[in-house]
Amino acid sequence: MLGVVGAVLFLLYQFWHWEVERVEVPPGEFLVVISLWGKELPPGEVIAPNESYKGIQLKPRLDGRHFINPLLYTYERQKSVTVPDGQCLVLTRKYGNEIDADKLKKRKILVEGDQTPLEWDEKSMSRSGERGIVRKPLNPGPTYYLNSHAYDWTLVPKVSIKTEQVGVRVLKVGEDPATLDKKQWTNLYLVPDGYRGVQEKPVVGKDYYVNPYAESITPVDVGSTTVRLTDIVFPSKDGFTLNPVVLVKYNVQPEMAPHLLVTLTDKGVLSQKSDTPEDQEKNQILQKVVLPLIRGSVRMEGSKFNARDFIAAQVKEPGADKLNPREILQKKLNEEIPKKCKMEGINIAMITIGEFNIHDDLVELATQINERKQAGLKLVSNQSKIKEYKAKQKLEADSEALTQQKGLVVEANTLLQNAKIEAEKRKSVAEKGLKNDLEIAEIRLAASQDNARGIQAKGEAEAKKLMLENEAEVAGLRKAISGFPGADAFAQFHIMAKLGPALTEIFASDTSEFAKLFASYLTSFSGRPANPTGTGSTGPMGNGTSGR
């Protein structure tokens, strides 16, 4: 019986465990367990601090197989939460301590943390955190198992700040700006970082996951925008109403975006569309800053000119150096409007005055101006045709002259060819004559060379003969000189022998005054000098006279 009872009890336990207690949780779900037994919850608590207390347990049971005793616990099936891309999850914690009254006075209404369970202190009978809106949102990606008894949540789209945008950040919680010193206020409408209000520094372009209870970020376009304005009207000097098309290219200064958001918007949204007239009506930048300034300047400057000046100046005439009224007005707008708009945080890159809309009262004036312009264009066209005709005539004349020139060139080339042929003939004849002359000259040269060799041989023989004769004469002279004391005595002898007969009549005696001049140069045959006094001397001839 005990064995049977034991077997029955074992089977009952297995049935109870696998059929009654077993709970299968599919993916995407989890269980919230509720304890049926235990200590009563402290006042104000909605979540059991731990398993010793009766009530809703905070820790979820994830997908899979679980065994829950229905006598001790009950449970709820709940769906897990997946945050899609482009959104974030803002939590509101339902359990925890009450927010301190001092914090509430300072508007610190957000609590710190995330979905991490708050620890329970058994001694102080309090949690480690507070209930309320959790400051930090949950980003997309992970799967969150949030107990609906412990949390409320809201999906909030992300804020995307593009490349040509900045974000204006508004803090809803933080330090009280009333505590700021006056010196810390750089702008009456903006506050420094960390203080409640519109932050003075914009944020750069990227994706932001923000808690809308803590802050907001508003995108503001700072890229260039070109707007076509058609509702600007001004009176002319001669009483007509003019309606020009004005093109304005502008952009918001990035650092001034917070100031513009505060000063121009009513609900914190800066409308910047300008594609249609309806969009332009809602565009606060145009309606509150740009358009009033342009309208005022156009009325002031445009009323100084007549309507015909603007209508006629829609197209600048060729060759006109002076600015027409439309260009003067445009230049004035570009000088004044950008300076004023820059002070408001808007950069004006360009203002262009386009065509004027022709209303009924301007049709006749425009027609007359158009006819005048057409006449001017026709005149210009006729002048162009005259220039074309002149150019054509010049071209024809140049062509005829070129033809004549070509004929003369051909004739000249023919004459040149004939002259070349004649020159070649003369050259050939001259070359033949020169060749004959060369051959004759070569023959004469050979004969001259033979004659020269004969003359040279004859000259050499005569020279040899003269040399022999000279040598014989020199030998005789040497022999004659050898009979004298020296060559000087021999020479003196021959000179005196030659001069003696001629001087006989000059020298009357050796004692004459004239003879004394040469006495010192006379020498007797004995080799002694002649006596200059002439006494006892003997002449060279042995006759008692001086040698002459």
Residue 332 in this model has a pLDDT that exceeds 60: yes
**Res. 547 pLDDT band, cuts 50 70 90:** very low
Assess contact for 37 and 54: CB atoms under 8 A.
yes
What is the pLDDT, as a whole number, of residue 546? 39
Whole-angstrom distance, CA of residue 18 vs CA of residue 2? 24
Q: How far from the centroid of its chain's Cα atoms is residue 4's Cα?
A: 99
What is the pLDDT, as a whole number, of residue 529? 47
Residue 83 in this model has a pLDDT that exceeds 90: yes
SS3 159: strand
**How many CA atoms within 13 Å lie on the side-chain side of 67?**
7
Stated as kind and residue range, the H or E segment containing 393 is helix 363-481
What is the pLDDT, as a whole number, of residue 365? 55
What does the pLDDT look like over 464-506, one tens digit per residue? 888 888 888 778 777 777 777 877 777 877 787 777 666 665 5
What does the pLDDT look like over 388-401, one tens digit per residue? 888 888 887 777 77
Q: What is the 3-state secondary structure (H, E, C) of 97-154?
A: ECCCHHHHHCCCCEECCCCCCCCEECCCCEECCECEEECCCECCCCEECCCCCCEEEE
**Res. 360 pLDDT band, cuts 50 70 90:** low
What is the pLDDT, as a whole number, of residue 496? 77
Of residues 218 and 410, the one with the higher pLDDT is 218
Residue entry with tokens 């000059």: 506
Assess contact for 260 and 270: CB atoms under 8 A.
yes
**Res. 15 pLDDT band, cuts 50 70 90:** confident
What does the pLDDT look like over 20-73, one tens digit per residue? 889 999 999 999 999 999 999 988 889 999 889 999 999 999 999 999 989 999
**Res. 154 pLDDT band, cuts 50 70 90:** very high
What is the pLDDT, as a whole number, of residue 476? 77
For residue 460 the two structure tokens come to 């050499």
What is the pLDDT, as a whole number, of residue 157? 95
What does the pLDDT look like over 256-294, one tens digit per residue? 999 999 999 888 888 889 889 899 999 999 999 999 999
Residue 320 in this model has a pLDDT that exceeds 50: no
Of residues 373 and 21, the one with the higher pLDDT is 21
Could you tell me what percent of the chain has a pLDDT over 90?
Answer: 35
Residue 120 forms beta bridges with which residues? 127
What is the pLDDT, as a whole number, of residue 187? 79
**Res. 532 pLDDT band, cuts 50 70 90:** very low
Please, what is the average pLDDT of the chain? Answer: 82
Q: What is the 3-state secondary structure (H, E, C) of 19-86?
A: HHHEEEECCCEEEEEEECCCECCCCCCCCECCCCECEEECCCECCEEEECCCCCEEEEEEECEECCCC
Assess contact for 261 and 218: CB atoms under 8 A.
yes
Indicate the pTM of the whole model. Answer: 0.60
What is the pLDDT, as a whole number, of residue 423? 84
Closest Cα partner for 293 from 337, 352, 249?
337
What does the pLDDT look like over 429-451, one tens digit per residue? 888 888 888 888 888 888 888 88
**Res. 383 pLDDT band, cuts 50 70 90:** confident
What is the pLDDT, as a whole number, of residue 509? 58
Of residues 537 and 496, the one with the higher pLDDT is 496
Residue 363 in this model has a pLDDT that exceeds 50: yes
Using DSSP bridges, classify how beta strands 110-111 and 132-134 pair: parallel, antiparallel or unpaired.
parallel
- Average pLDDT of the segment spanning 122-148: 90
Whole-angstrom distance, CA of residue 389 vs CA of residue 387? 5
Whole-angstrom distance, CA of residue 368 vs CA of residue 375? 11
Per-residue burial over 457-495, b = 16 or more CB atoms within 10 Å of its CB, e = otherwise: eeeeeeeeeeeeeeeeeeeeeeeebeeeeeeeebebbee
Whole-angstrom distance, CA of residue 101 vs CA of residue 431? 136
Could you tell me what percent of the chain has a pLDDT over 70?
Answer: 85
